[in-house]
Amino acid sequence: MGKMVQLTASDGHTFGAYRAEPAGKPKGGLIVVMEIFGVNSHIRKVADEYAADGYLAIAPALFDRVQRGLDVGYTPQDIEIARALMQKMNFADAIKDVEAAMQQIASAGKISIVGFCWGGSVAWKSACNVRGLTCAVPYYGGAIPGMIAEQPKCPVLCHWGETDQSIPLEKAKAVAAAHKNQTHYFYPAGHGFNCNERGSYHAESARLARTRTLDFLAKHVG
């Protein structure tokens, strides 16, 4: 089980993060970027699972800039709250917090980033703008098509859902075509298919995507 820690970004902003330690010496570090629902039970579980696989995992509470300690579920009301907070966020601030999270786990060696939903977009943005990341794994990042012109500085593995209502398939395919040198997988699933607490959970796609992610991390991080 992990624990909450406090981080400080380059602009002095302090924020929380969930840190999960592996049993032995870390294979590397992994930043786990939340969906719009905060560092909730699902994101903590994801971090715990990657720690069990040998990575020092940290899930920064990126929405602390607009509302501290956000931890909501997936009811229509939760979604409304979370979407409103997302509108107040900008990627430049998220990047500062990602960099602070990198410093927190620097002792683990090579550092990668995995993100889901809004966090998938943050993972892509980080791959394009943050120095020192070894690789990045965005899951269904809705803002990625709008950042298609940005060039990743590290290897990227993108997971896309073919029936994702919030990312038109042709837009995801356009990203894959524009970034052929990166890895793109498409799944017969919708938005949020990795989250077993959401109605859109698709067990087979989630399992396959996680296996591919672990292989990708093993190749690039260790």
Tell me which of 42, 159, 179, 191 is the catalytic residue: 191
pLDDT for the residue numbered 149: 98
Which of the 8 DSSP states describes residue 133? Answer: E
Residue 164 is among the residues annotated as catalytic for this protein: yes
CA distance 217 to 222: 7
Q: Which helix (H) or strand (E) holds 178?
A: helix 169-178
Give the CATH number of the domain where residue 148 resides: 3.40.50.1820
Does this model's pTM top 0.85? yes
Q: Residue 164 belongs to what domain range?
A: 3-220
- Tally the domains of the chain: 1
Q: Give the torsion sign (CA, 76, 80, 34, 139).
A: positive
Residue 117 is among the residues annotated as catalytic for this protein: yes
Tell me which of 42, 64, 97, 117 is the catalytic residue: 117
pLDDT for the residue numbered 70: 97
Best CA proximity match to 142, nearest among 164, 111, 174 = 164
pLDDT for the residue numbered 1: 79
pLDDT for the residue numbered 154: 98
Report the amino acid identity of residue 136: A
pLDDT for the residue numbered 116: 98
pLDDT for the residue numbered 15: 98
CA distance 16 to 48: 16
Could you state, in chain order, the average pLDDT of each consecutive group of 10 residues for the chain (222 residues)?
A: 96 98 97 98 98 98 98 96 97 98 98 98 98 98 98 98 97 98 98 96 98 98 92
Tell me which of 128, 135, 164, 202 is the catalytic residue: 164
For 184-213, give the DSSP string: EEEES--TTTT-TTSTT--HHHHHHHHHHH
Query: With contact defined as beta carbons under 8 Å apart, do 54 and 178 qualify?
Result: no
Beta bridge partners of 160: 186
